[in-house]
Structure 1
Amino acid sequence: MHANTTQLVRRAGGKPIRLASKSLRCRDLIERVLRVPGFDGVLAFTLPEALWLAATLAPELGDIVVGYPCVDPEPLRALAADEQAAARVALMVDGVEQLDLICAAVGPDGPPLRICLDLDASLRLLGGRLHLGMRRSPLHAPAEAAALARAVLARPRLRLVGVMSYEGQIAGLADNRPDKPLLRTGVRAMQHLSRRELADRRHAAVRAVQAVAPLEFVNGGGTGSLESTAAEAAVTELAAGSGVYAPVLFDHYRVFTPRPAAYFALTVSRRPARGHVTVLGGGWIASGPAGPDRLPTPVWPPGLSLVPTEGAGEVQTPLTGVAADSLRLGDRVWFRHAKAGELCERVNLLHLVEDGRIVGEVPTYRGEGHAFL
């Protein structure tokens, strides 16, 4: 984890990294990473999480931006009633409807609420008929971002502080899959085109918004695109988090090679046939389009794989391979999750290992009694 954190800072080229808490989901590790020079602030995934972090993380670790819109009146009212939290937390919006909902929930009186605009970073071709990227925000054109900025200023209790955009088709899509050469070529061509288009459009959008109001920050990127996003003059800070744990989906990128840092172990409970063992549990499937790349990967002992007809099951997972016959009941098989922070929704504790020894135990969000999604 230390090596990955250092690599992220180096790749950022001197621009600060806002840590994506969704990718860690462990308060202790979030704080450790934020104390590394080069990291500053949190990109949270829900407002209740942001309120909790604002109350528990030291102020010098930076402010908190909620990466996704909140439409629940209760946490909005809690934010509006807490002057210290309101000064530290920024809400994400991408439309006037969300502004109206926020204002209706919090009323006209109280501390100002910080607002960040979510600019769509997807690549749209053929007049918008071909959409490559995340389905996040309707704000695509610079004029649309400027219009929403003016709508923020028209509401006295709201204060515009930032713009963010996440280029998932670049940052979250591996460009060096050894098993799929045609797909690899297509991904690289698409990403090259998308980088050029987004750099120009993001620059124009930021200028259009700044003509309406000054900005404290412009956030962009992700673990897979730190170099290219950092090169954009319009971007003042980056976002990353998955690269700290380095899950399986980040194994095949050309520009960086992270070191796998997060593992989980399952116990052998059955030996159903020669060349097969079954472990207890294991159906820890990652979010995204359902497919083999969202399944956990057995990595130790080497020589094991999932059984295609069963995959990873909720209560048992059969494995096959040359290592199966050497395993006994009670032995452990080590796995890597396909994604980063989602692993922590399954466990209460993370064991910290250094130089071959367990040097500590820290609770996950779940271990502290929180389920923010």
Structure 2
Amino acid sequence: MDDRQRYDRATAALEPPFAIVDLAAMRANAADLVRRAAGKPIRVASKSIRSRALLEHILAMDGFRGVMAYTLPEALWLAAGGITDILVAYPTADRQALAALAADARAAAQITVTVDSAAHLDYLEAAVAPVHPRAELRLCLDLDAAYVAFGRRVGALRSPVREPHEAADLAADIAKRPGFRLVGLLAYEAQIAGVGDAPPSNAARARLIRLMQALSARELVLRRGRVVNAVRQFADLEFVNGGGTGSVELTTREKAITELAAGSGFFHPRLFDFYRRFTGRPAALFALPVVRRPAPDTVTVLGGGYLASGPVGPARAPQPYLPAGLRYAPEEGAGEVQTPLLGQAAGDLRLGDRVWFRHAKAGELCEHFDALHLVDGDTVVEPVPTYRGEGRTFL
């Protein structure tokens, strides 16, 4: 039985649109992440999962420890539900959430907030000033991990802190401020972890990406090590976090790194098909029903415009996955309420049949569905709520 038949059989009682997670595929992807991490723990990036039940499922597996959250309200909610060791990997300007954190000693002991400037520290101090008594806030320093050469920058625009002396100055500032404690350092090399080195049908671009990534990795291993040494003069760091799904096996080699981060690798969305170093199994999919047949080689499915964040372009559209051989109508693409699909495979589809899609990115799929139906073999074992299914929208 092929995957399409298996998914159709497992979900026969469900009416599309709906989303599934193939548990066997997700577990295989998780095991491969652990293998690539070579003994260092992996912090699970919640933005790529967005289901509390699945986060708990993953954290129960060997090799995973802690959560990398994307907002402070999310972290407070996860901590209230019993999840521990939560790093909010993006700075927050939510005054109410900061006050709530400072007023809750239990949550403050489990949540670490990211900063990258003295302005952040001033903002945090002002936000928690009215709270009496208040808990000590755990802080993580975010380091710019982009590659800069010949006046050009490659990588995410994140922290302004780049050099060891800049990190040391901020660490010293934190040490002087009562009620704050620097416990971690974060440096995400997006240009390696988030950029596939095997783009399809473009050998020249692939060579350039691989050269850039090799040079970037060489530069970062030295600079990140120097930053960690500089910061340790002012703080007893509990963790140094780096990497992502696309760079786990590279980042784990650095002595300065104590833990990795990964999230997309569990679901293996479309954008992660283009890496040489690893091969995952698509684990998260969504099904849309055929509702029209405008022509013999064309069907129209309900909805489908679940575009991924990032630079606008065809790579951010979902992939018509099963049956194979379907493509978008170039003048319409993935639509808000309907999506035409072309190709020979359309000739065999009838009204009510399912077309299975893969999202371009992990996690964002969950913003369109209130549940993920967990498939084991050819059976749905249970539905689990997404964040939205629990009435939570953090962004």
Work out the CA distance in 1 between the residues paired with 2:82 and 2:37. Answer: 24
The corresponding residue for 1:120 is: 144
The corresponding residue for 1:13 is: 38
The structural deviation recorded for 1:189 is 0.3
The corresponding residue for 1:369 is: 391
Q: Tell me whether 1:35 sits opposite 2:57 in the alignment.
A: no
Work out the CA distance in 1 between the residues paired with 2:89 and 2:336. Answer: 30
Secondary structure of the residue that 1:203 maps to in structure 2? helix
Consecutive unaligned residues in structure 1, runs of 5 or more: none
The AA in structure 2 aligned to 1:115 is L
Work out the CA distance in 2 between the residues paired with 1:16 and 1:187. Answer: 28
Q: 1:70 aligns with which of 92, 100, 113?
A: 92
- Identical aligned pairs, as a percentage? 58
Work out the CA distance in 2 between the residues paired with 1:187 and 1:214. Answer: 36
Secondary structure of the residue that 1:329 maps to in structure 2? coil
The AA in structure 2 aligned to 1:68 is Y
The structural deviation recorded for 1:356 is 1.2
The corresponding residue for 1:282 is: 304
Secondary structure of the residue that 1:7 maps to in structure 2? helix
Work out the CA distance in 1 between the residues paired with 2:326 and 2:31. Answer: 32
Work out the CA distance in 1 between the residues paired with 2:257 and 2:35. Answer: 17
Q: Tell me whether 1:216 sits opposite 2:235 in the alignment.
A: no
- The correspondence of residues 298-309 of structure 1 with structure 2, limited to 5 A, is 298-309=320-331
Deviant stretches of 4+, over 2 Å: none
Work out the CA distance in 2 between the residues paired with 1:97 and 1:177. Answer: 40
Work out the CA distance in 2 between the residues paired with 1:184 and 1:356. Answer: 38
The corresponding residue for 1:358 is: 380
Q: Give CA-to-partner distance per residue, 1:314-369, whole Å, 9 cap, x none.
A: 11111000011211111110000000000000000100001111111100000000
Work out the CA distance in 2 between the residues paired with 1:329 and 1:145. Answer: 60
Q: 2:75 aligns with which of 29, 50, 66?
A: 50
The corresponding residue for 1:87 is: 109
The corresponding residue for 1:111 is: 135
CA contact (8 A) 1:31 1:57 kept: no
Could you state the TM-score of these two structures normalised by the residue count of structure 1? 0.97
Q: Tell which deviates more after alignment, 313-322 or 267-276.
A: 267-276
The AA in structure 2 aligned to 1:183 is R
The structural deviation recorded for 1:57 is 2.8
Consecutive unaligned residues in structure 2, runs of 5 or more: 1-25
Work out the CA distance in 1 between the residues paired with 2:76 and 2:192. Answer: 30
The AA in structure 2 aligned to 1:230 is T
Q: 2:220 aligns with which of 190, 198, 222?
A: 198
The structural deviation recorded for 1:176 is 1.3
Q: Give CA-to-partner distance per residue, 1:243-286, whole Å, 9 cap, x none.
A: 00000000111111010000000111111122111111000000
How many aligned residue pairs are there?
Answer: 368
Q: Tell me whether 1:140 sits opposite 2:140 in the alignment.
A: no
